[in-house]
Structure 1
Amino acid sequence: MHKLLQVKEEAEFLRAELDRYSHLWQSDRKAVFQEFLTYSKQLGPEDLELEKTPPTLRDFQREIQVLHTLSSEVTYLDDVIILHGWLQVDLRPFTASLLSVILDWKHMYTDFLLESASKSLQQEIQPVGDDDEMSSSFPLMETILLLEAAGVELPEHLAAQLKC
């Protein structure tokens, strides 16, 4: 019975270590992203009355970098862990699922930037009289460079328009 309790303790310790990633699958991605678009960060309990501050490209870069760092950490998790010398825990399914969730988060940010770049390019090709829409987009070349640095391949139509 003593060995079983020791294994349970080790298993609980492992779960606690892996819980540091739980916000990735427990948080409502759309709500978190909306907070980011409104306040340029995810709100915490201490952020009760915060001024609206739309994100900059640097804010997007920060979030993408955090996700890249998490992805790297998860990639280096052990495939199999032996608890108390006899209980084998296979982390490969967990790791694969977590990497997929991290990729979903990353796509949320990069898809927004791709859409912004596409709109900016359209506005350069066919200028619109609405100045408000122009001010809401990011500088095109900086956005493209950020996307490329994040490993995002530009869609063919966007790449073709950039070459013109």
Structure 2
Amino acid sequence: MYGVWEYIEVLGDTVSNLEGRVRKAQANVKLLDGILATWVQKPIFERRDGKKDTLLSLEDKAERLKKVYSCMERDGAKVQAMVEENKLLLKVPASSRHWDRYLLFLDHMITRGLVDSVSRSLFYLLDNCESRSNQFPLLEARLELQDMHLIIRPSPEELQALAEEIVSDILHVSTFIPRLATHVHATYLPDLQKDEEVVGLKETLLERFQVAANRTAEHRDQFLQHQALWKDRRRDILDKFLTSGDNNTQPSLSQFKQQIDLYEALYTELEGIETTVVFDKWFRLDVRPFKHSLLENTKKWARMYKQHLISQVTER
């Protein structure tokens, strides 16, 4: 009789011990759920100072990514430690198909968490480049003259490259979490790259950036009709003009006035150029640098003819 009670006590202790280990393993999985929940709390890239009317904060891009990647690396270490602890708690034998299935279960959880995390960041960007009435610009480029060339900073090509880079940076978070089901892929990145939700968000975002790039290029190209103002050599044009009179003589005063009036009228027309243009409510083009240079060049052309007349008077 004593042996039976002793056996019952031992059995009870064994069951209690098993129950405690199972509960601890289940608690660890709940902790994993908690870790996954933190991945969707904030997008990786946001507007400056978290305000709705500021531009996307990219000045601190490297620092921001370093911080996010470090957090993911720490979370990856926590996940790895949790899995190892559960393996000990559940006393998994060296080779167990049940353990492989358990790892696959956890692997699916992490994959879903990473998909949600990446989608959160991509959707934030998409939501902030929606063409709606209450939208504020998310990104900005500048139109300016540099070394006789009319350029956009960033250029349409650089803007598209920026979009690709941002998407790549967002997806890269998946490489910091150790893969549990290593027989599938070495990292979680391939799963995210082919996930329908992620692919859809990525393609839509890249398409919007491409549209914005094209529209800024089109806006730039309309000003090429005035490129003579900044490309032509004024001295050469003046020399040619000075021999445009009858029998290659100097033009008349009225012809000088005609040239001066032409550039002054053009100056007045160019003053009407919009200094800021917003495409699809979210991409802003700052035209002020170019407009300033264009007006300065136009004034120089009118001044050239005026100064020639003045110099003629003073030399007499």
Deviations 1:14-46 (A, max 9, x none): 111111221111001110111111125xxxxxx
Tell me if structure 2 keeps the 8 A contact 1:10–1:84: no
| Partner Cα separation in structure 2 for residue 92 and residue 27 of structure 1 | 22
Q: What TM-score, normalized by structure 1, do the two folds share?
A: 0.62
Can you give the 5+ residue segments of structure 2 that lack an aligned partner in the other structure? 1-205
Q: CA deviation at 1:5?
A: 2.3
| Partner Cα separation in structure 2 for residue 10 and residue 23 of structure 1 | 23
Of the three residues 14, 39, 54, the one matched with 2:219 is 14
SS of corresponding position for 1:67: helix
Between the two proteins, the alignment pairs up a number of residues equal to: 111
Q: CA deviation at 1:67?
A: 0.5
Tell me if structure 2 keeps the 8 A contact 1:80–1:89: yes
Among the aligned pairs, what percent are the same residue? 24
Pair 1:27-2:232 in alignment: yes
Runs of 4+ aligned structure 1 residues displaced above 4 Å come to none
Compare CA radii of gyration and give the structure with the larger one.
2
SS of corresponding position for 1:5: helix
Tell me if structure 2 keeps the 8 A contact 1:81–1:91: yes
Tell me if structure 2 keeps the 8 A contact 1:71–1:102: yes
Which one-letter code corresponds to 2:274 in the other structure? D
Residue of structure 1 equivalent to 2:277 = 81
| Partner Cα separation in structure 2 for residue 83 and residue 63 of structure 1 | 36
Tell me if structure 2 keeps the 8 A contact 1:79–1:92: yes
Q: CA deviation at 1:53?
A: 4.6
Residue of structure 1 equivalent to 2:286 = 90
Residue of structure 1 equivalent to 2:199 = none
| Partner Cα separation in structure 2 for residue 91 and residue 11 of structure 1 | 11
| Partner Cα separation in structure 1 for residue 313 and residue 212 of structure 2 | 52
| Partner Cα separation in structure 2 for residue 32 and residue 83 of structure 1 | 38
Q: How does 1:124-163 map to 2 (within 5 A)?
A: none
Residue of structure 2 equivalent to 1:63 = 259
Which one-letter code corresponds to 2:210 in the other structure? L
Q: CA RMSD in A?
A: 1.9
Q: CA deviation at 1:78?
A: 0.8
SS of corresponding position for 1:106: helix
Residue of structure 2 equivalent to 1:99 = 295
Q: What TM-score, normalized by structure 2, do the two folds share?
A: 0.33
Can you give the 5+ residue segments of structure 1 that lack an aligned partner in the other structure? 41-50, 121-164
Deviations 1:78-135 (A, max 9, x none): 1111123211111112111111111111111000111122234xxxxxxxxxxxxxxx
SS of corresponding position for 2:248: coil
